[in-house]
Amino acid sequence: MRKAIPLVFILTLVWGSTWPLFPVAVREVSVWTFRAVSTLGAGLALLALARLRGESLRVPREHWATLIAAALAYLVIWNVASTYAAVLIPSGQAAILGFTMPFWSALIAWVFLGQRPGPRVLLALAIGGLGVVLLIANGIGAYAKAPLGFALGLFAGIGWAAGTVILKRGRIPLSPLVLTGWQLLVAAVPLVMAAFALGGGEWFMPSATTLIVIAYITIVPMAIGNVAWFAIVGLLPANIAGLSAVMVPVVAMIAGAIVHGEPLGPVQWASMVCCALGVGLALLKPATPT
């Protein structure tokens, strides 16, 4: 359990600080093109790094179905739905909706893996959930103006939760580096196809700002962040792994306030306290599912 704590800190900072950049990344290119480039680039980079480290890139044949299903559920649904949500509603609010994932994950893990939450995990989910509910309630005005953004944010969280449980159930015997690289490449296939079919417009060279932002997102949150996430999934039960990510929208809201001037008042700070308490309760003391 304690081995996961440094990874949670890395994940929180890497993913949380990226949300305000999504609207910038898609100012000149489509969401499909942006996500196709970032998943393909991150996947190739991670597998190249794994090869340089002497790791085998072979995936056992019996695990390919699990890997593909997890990649489609998490990396395709999450990346497309969360990006569109961040364009339609404030990035911090989009992050909050996407990070309802711990609650979907706990429910799916209970039903399909038999990981019934114990009292400590239930309490952690309740406290973290209160933080998320505060933020959702505070953003009702934004959701009313863009109901599609609200729906896509929730859909992103459900897809991420489903992918996590599929992966946990499949127990693929690969290092986080190789596992992440292959999942990103699998996800890149439909995203590249969609980019050509739905991207629209003529070929052109985006501005330096757009290229820098996409390169940063490719290397930092897509490559480094996902390696940290899949390492966490390998270390923790699915329900606690999901809860470990609930602090990400807290950082996203602070970053959104700094970059875009999004609201950051008493409700947001109260939510941050709840999220921090929930994560701390789940991670600092062992919680074994029954």
Average pLDDT, the chain: 84
| CA dihedral over 189, 181, 40, 29, signed as positive or negative | positive
Residue indicated by tokens 């990070």: 99
Domain, as residue range, for 257: 4-283
**Residue 201 confidence (pLDDT) above 70:** no
Q: Name the strand (E) or helix (H) holding 115.
A: none
**Residue 288 confidence (pLDDT) above 50:** no
Q: Does any domain span residue 57?
A: yes
Answer with the residue of higher pLDDT: 204 or 217.
217
Of the listed ranges 71-85, 88-102, 150-164, 209-223, the least confidently predicted one is 88-102
Q: Does any domain span residue 290?
A: no
Reported as a single tens digit per residue, the pLDDT across 13-38 is 888 888 788 888 988 998 889 999 99
CA distance 191 to 13: 26
**Residue 287 confidence (pLDDT) above 60:** no
pLDDT tier for residue 40 given thresholds of 50, 70 and 90: very high
Q: Does any domain span residue 288?
A: no
Residue indicated by tokens 């950051």: 264
Indicate yes or no: pTM above 0.85. Answer: no
Q: Does any domain span residue 217?
A: yes
b/e 100-139 (16+ beta carbons within 10 angstroms → b): bbbbbbbbbbbeeeebebbeebebbbebbbbbbebbbebb
Phi, psi of 18, rounded to the nearest 5 degrees:
-90, -25
Instruction: Report residue 228 as tokens.
Output: 């940290």
Domain count, the chain: 1
